[in-house]
Structure 1
Amino acid sequence: MSAAPRPYAWYFYPLNWLLLALAHLPLAVLYVAARGIYLLLAYVVRYRWRVVLDNLRHAFPEKEEAEIRQIGRQFYWHFAQVLVEILKLAAISPAELHRRMHFTNPELMTGPFAQNRFVLSLGSHRGNWEWLLSGAELEFPGRAAGVYKPLNNRFFEHFMRRLRTRLGADAVPMLGTLRYFVQHRRQGRTISLLTDQAAGPEDRPYWTSFMHREAGFYTSAERLAQQFDCAVLYVGIRRARRGYYEITFTQLPDGQAATAAAHAPDEAQRYPITEAFVRCLETDIRATPEQYLWTHRRWKHKRNG
């Protein structure tokens, strides 16, 4: 009887053991390590510093250069904390994570569940987007799934998938999204999409102004909501204090509203879900700008023509 194939090459095993050992350290110790990561990224490597400054200057044209740079440094400190928190998912107990994730209005999620409806949860790279999926699974057991783009490296794909599913949530590869909806329709579940991903012209995106620049957004939320009559929620997550997050839902147009608007003459009216998501995200970014992922090349694509 042949042994099961290794999920990744043998030389990644020491790295796996090291990461798991680090994950078992207390969060207080990991935050000390985060301080070192912050200094390395912000002052030594200066990881994507030019991208961060360019994004912030366009997003906040009213701010002085000194304030822009201060927000940039605050972002790197937030980012360093998020990195060690993501690693901690490999070992954190369900009770501890649940204590650190506060859902302010869960009834907006449980209401559609009672009707056996799918809920599209539209999130972004703000706060700690990786803790959010596991936190939702603990708050709504057996209900949470997240769509993700598989990584090319087999080790990191295996490791990140294990982190995301360890506490019970489903991790759905992007190409398997439609199959997941078909398999679980009328079961009262939520599936999370990080809707601030950069969509290029070839993706037939919805183009709109986002933080003072034109950006293309994927329109899959509109299509899925229409096809499966989904309720749709914007998921706002912010760091309340170190290691603790607050999640607030905002109700967006649902599948029926998107269907009714599908043939509207104005493009913004044809994509009511995506347009509402963008405005909610802008409001949250302005409230806590340091908690958004400014290293993300969100505006790299331009509209054809």
Structure 2
Amino acid sequence: MQLAVFILAYPLLWLVSRLPFTIIYLLSDGIYGLLYYVIGYRKKVVRENLALVFPEKSEKERLKIEKKFYHHMCDMFMEMIKTMGISKKEIQKRFTVTNMELLTNLEEKGINTMLMLPHYASWEWVLSLNLQIKSKGYGIYQKIQNKYFDKLVRQIRGKFNTTLISTKESRKILKAAKESKELLMVGIISDQSPMVGRAKYWTDFMGIVVPVHVGGEEICKVNDIVPVYLKVRKKKRGYYEGTFKIITENPTKVEDYKITDAFLRETEKSIREAPEYYFWTHKRWKHRNKAPKAVHDKDIVTSNTLR
């Protein structure tokens, strides 16, 4: 069944990836109308999330964010497919960086880095950064159940020399890379909601206490990797701009969970600046009422950068 689904879908995906962006976005507009007005894909989840996070906004204001988000989500989906056929020159034109020298300077010092980013704006095209670095680029990701689509995603995301590693194998592979003295740049999306039973840390995110993933921080501490927040801004349709910000230059000396807190504070700032570019279909706050009692008494972290 998995192979049959892949065989049916792949030719269409390949064809779409060869279309010009003008057609890509016309298709995106059509998909938006279908998903939003006809299917209503996860509309209830999106509305609940926006109401939780922005109780101060009117229903009309939240509806405006909602519609913009669905437009952006459809664009993101089409851009991901387009990555199959996009050239190096084109993607470098569409995903630029304001301060590439920050990462270059760390590389020149032989410092390994971890790019921590949320599900915001474009995380797919961040992979094009590998065209500008000397480090070995790794991307930590969740494997897809369909092994054929998983292989395709590996190929797409590995197009610009990124080596994808699953969450389960990441620690072993990165430890081996460190021991071989390989210069690394690791990318990880760190704003997912972990399983309650495995949650090690609960904290405030957008005004709501939830469990948070700490895997990125733990990898940084164990391997002495400098965590860097990558802020991505959508300049206009199909064009994105990234800016690096060092979270701490001494990860092994930072108190536990402070790196995670700092990452979340930066993520919050991005969301509040342009909320329509956050991925609201995720059930990010689904465990909000399950926090241990002691968690509610903790101080909310307000610092943005650690040194």
Match of 1:100 among 85, 94, 98: 94
Query: For residue 298 of structure 2, what is the aligned residue in structure 1?
Result: none
**CA distance in 1 between partners of 2:22 and 2:131 (Å):** 23
Unpaired runs of at least 5, structure 1: 1-7, 263-269
Query: For residue 235 of structure 2, what is the aligned residue in structure 1?
Result: 240
Q: Contact 2:17/2:81 (CA < 8 Å) preserved in 1?
A: yes
Root-mean-square deviation (CA), in Å? 1.6
**1:290 pairs with 2:276:** yes
Query: For residue 58 of structure 1, what is the aligned residue in structure 2?
Result: 52
Query: For residue 301 of structure 2, what is the aligned residue in structure 1?
Result: none
Range that drifts further, 10-19 or 73-82: 10-19
The amino acid across from 2:203 in the alignment is T
**1:150 pairs with 2:120:** no
Query: For residue 213 of structure 2, what is the aligned residue in structure 1?
Result: 218
Range that drifts further, 72-81 or 181-190: 181-190
* 1:32-91 per-position Cα deviation (integer Å, ceiling 9, x unaligned): 000001111111111111111111111111110100011000000011111100000111
Query: For residue 120 of structure 1, what is the aligned residue in structure 2?
Result: 114
**1:166 pairs with 2:152:** no
Match of 1:139 among 132, 135, 140: 132
**CA distance in 1 between partners of 2:18 and 2:209 (Å):** 43
Q: Contact 2:112/2:183 (CA < 8 Å) preserved in 1?
A: yes
Q: Matches of residues 66-81 of structure 1 in structure 2 within 5 Å? A: 66-81=60-75
- 2:124 counterpart SS class: helix
Match of 2:79 among 85, 101, 109: 85
Percent identity of paired positions between Structure 1 and Structure 2: 32
**1:249 pairs with 2:237:** no
Q: Contact 1:114/1:188 (CA < 8 Å) preserved in 2?
A: no
Unpaired runs of at least 5, structure 2: 294-307
Q: Contact 1:115/1:188 (CA < 8 Å) preserved in 2?
A: no
Match of 2:194 among 174, 199, 202: 199
Q: Contact 2:107/2:134 (CA < 8 Å) preserved in 1?
A: no
Q: Contact 2:135/2:185 (CA < 8 Å) preserved in 1?
A: no
TM-score (norm 1): 0.90
Query: For residue 170 of structure 2, what is the aligned residue in structure 1?
Result: 177
- 2:231 counterpart SS class: strand
- 1:253 counterpart SS class: coil
**CA distance in 2 between partners of 1:157 and 1:24 (Å):** 21
* 1:65-121 per-position Cα deviation (integer Å, ceiling 9, x unaligned): 100011000000011111100000111001100111111111221222122222011
**CA distance in 1 between partners of 2:272 and 2:230 (Å):** 16
The amino acid across from 2:226 in the alignment is A
* 1:132-171 per-position Cα deviation (integer Å, ceiling 9, x unaligned): 12x2112225532210010111222122111111221111
**CA distance in 2 between partners of 1:184 and 1:115 (Å):** 17
**CA distance in 2 between partners of 1:247 and 1:48 (Å):** 28
**1:303 pairs with 2:295:** no
Match of 2:9 among 15, 27, 37: 15
TM-aligned CA deviation for residue 229 of structure 1 = 1.2
How many residue pairs end up in the alignment? 288
Range that drifts further, 120-129 or 212-221: 212-221
* 1:212-241 per-position Cα deviation (integer Å, ceiling 9, x unaligned): 211211112222112111111011112111
**CA distance in 1 between partners of 2:5 and 2:50 (Å):** 40
- 1:129 counterpart SS class: coil
**CA distance in 1 between partners of 2:83 and 2:182 (Å):** 27
TM-aligned CA deviation for residue 196 of structure 1 = 0.2
